[in-house]
Amino acid sequence: MEQAIIDNMNEITTLQTFGAHQPAHTDGSTSTEESRVQVLIESSTAEESTIGEAVEKKKGRKRKKNEENWKQNQAKRLRNSGKEYKTKNDKTVRSRSVNPPCTDKCRIKCSEKMTEEQRQAIFDSYWKIGESNAQRSFIMSSMTDITPKYKYTNAEHPRKCNKA
């Protein structure tokens, strides 16, 4: 930048020597044309300095998206893990919990076949998975095929086995 100022000063001296058809004032001031040249040079150096500052202030890169911190993804993670979360409409959904066992009138006799601790362990292991596809595969792996006592066969529309 200093080199540009020196070059501009050299141009002023050449203008003064070659284009000195206007006399200089007796009080030591320069003519109006020379003052215009000096003003133009000063303004051009000021522009260079502002341009230099603009180059120094580079725009930063656009920040990378962090999908883990998005509200809907946080709510999805909490929902899949059975914890309390808020919906888009700011409605709070309570966390999952084990329902009370069946009564004595249940024909399958669930309360006699499984203890409360077993039910809680299954519940915890299911909701600890935290991903819907893995939870579905957990359920499918826990089920067994039921073999019927008598099977109706139809060659056109064969039936699949039931799961229990």
pLDDT in tens for each of the 164 residues of the chain?
Answer: 556 566 655 565 554 555 444 454 555 555 555 555 555 455 555 445 555 555 567 788 888 999 999 999 999 999 999 999 999 999 999 999 999 998 888 998 888 999 999 999 999 999 999 999 999 999 999 999 888 888 777 778 777 778 87
**Which pLDDT score is estimated for 54?**
52
- Vertex 80 angle, CA 96 and 106, to 5°: 40
Question: 12: burial class by Cβ within 10 Å (0-12, 13-18, 19+)?
Answer: middle
Residue 40, Cβ neighbours under 10 Å: how many? Answer: 11
Q: Which two tokens stand for residue 8?
A: 């501009």
**Which pLDDT score is estimated for 52?**
52
Question: 3-state DSSP call for residue 123?
Answer: helix
The pTM of this model reads: 0.55
**N- to C-terminal Cα distance for the chain?**
84
